[in-house]
Amino acid sequence: MKKKATITVETERLLVVSHSRGSVEHWCEQCGTKVLMIGLTEAAAITGLTERAIFRLTEAGAIHLMETTEGKSLFCVDSILAHTGPGARQLARAQIQNRQNRKDES
Ligand SMILES: [Zn+2]
């Protein structure tokens, strides 16, 4: 029961991220696929890490970083979730699937 409550919180967090203006679907060179990219603030929010810790993981190659033409840093959600546990990763996949389903309906 305790685990279920945690998952609910994670889902809400991911939904907040996906609805924020900072998130965008973009090609990730390292993943070799299109992923959800989010800003530094969002990356810190879903991992519970500090922004400095996010950059350390990026420098270590654990989190994939992409810079926009405006010079804004965007982080690959897939790589972030790979470092926040398998449960979070599953939720992200479900969440991305939901986005695709919504697109099909419209
Ligand atoms: Zn990636």
Residue 32's CATH number: 1.10.1660
What distance in Å separates the CA atoms of residue 62 and residue 18, rounded to the nearest whole number? 21
104 pLDDT higher than 80? no
The pLDDT value recorded for residue 13 is: 57
With respect to residue 73, please indicate whether it lies within any of the assigned structural domains: yes
Cα 104 to averaged position of ligand 1 atoms, centre (Å): 25
Please say whether the dihedral angle defined by the alpha carbons of residues 48, 54, 58 and 59, taken in this order, is positive or negative. negative
pLDDT in tens, 26-66: 899 999 999 989 999 888 888 888 899 999 999 999 999 99
- Write out the two tokens for 99: 């986005």
Number of domains in the chain: 1
Q: What is the CA radius of gyration of the chain?
A: 14
Cα 75 to averaged position of ligand 1 atoms, centre (Å): 8
Cα 2 to averaged position of ligand 1 atoms, centre (Å): 31
With respect to residue 12, please indicate whether it lies within any of the assigned structural domains: no
Amino acid residing at 23: S
